[in-house]
Amino acid sequence: MGGETLRDALYEVKTIPGVISVMLVSRTGMFVEGDRMDRRSMDTFSAMAAIVLGASETATTEIEEKVRYVVLELEKSKLVILGTGIRGVLIVRVKRDFNNVDAILEASKGVGQFI
């Protein structure tokens, strides 16, 4: 990981077979880096994804287990949303039949150092 940039770290996640797009946002929902979409949609999308993760983390405090990631099943794909350190949220869109979240977790370790 020496000399790696944030873009390199995100690219490592994106090269996993089945990954469609990767976006890093702050816990407050501000876009940081990654695959872009329409500006108006991107602001709402990134904020709502951060809220989904935060709400999941809050909802599970009573059972005293930490959220590793959240998967949203969409019509044609899935979203994998996970925290990257205390300030970042990684949003990974994958193909509908994707089932290798562990590869995302491993590859995303390098992302957390940048946020």
Domains along the sequence of the chain with CATH: 6-112 (3.30.450.30)
What is the pLDDT, as a whole number, of residue 3? 54
Residue 1 — very low, low, confident or very high, per pLDDT cuts 50/70/90? very low
Q: On the CB side of 9, how many CA atoms lie within 13 Å of its CA?
A: 21
Tell me which residue has tokens 């999308």.
Answer: 45
What is the pLDDT, as a whole number, of residue 115? 80
23-57 pLDDT, tens digit per residue, is: 999 999 999 999 987 767 888 999 999 999 999 99
Interval 48-71 mean pLDDT: 94
Any idea how long the chain is?
Answer: 115
List, in sequence order, the alpha helices (H) in the chain. 6-14, 39-59, 101-107
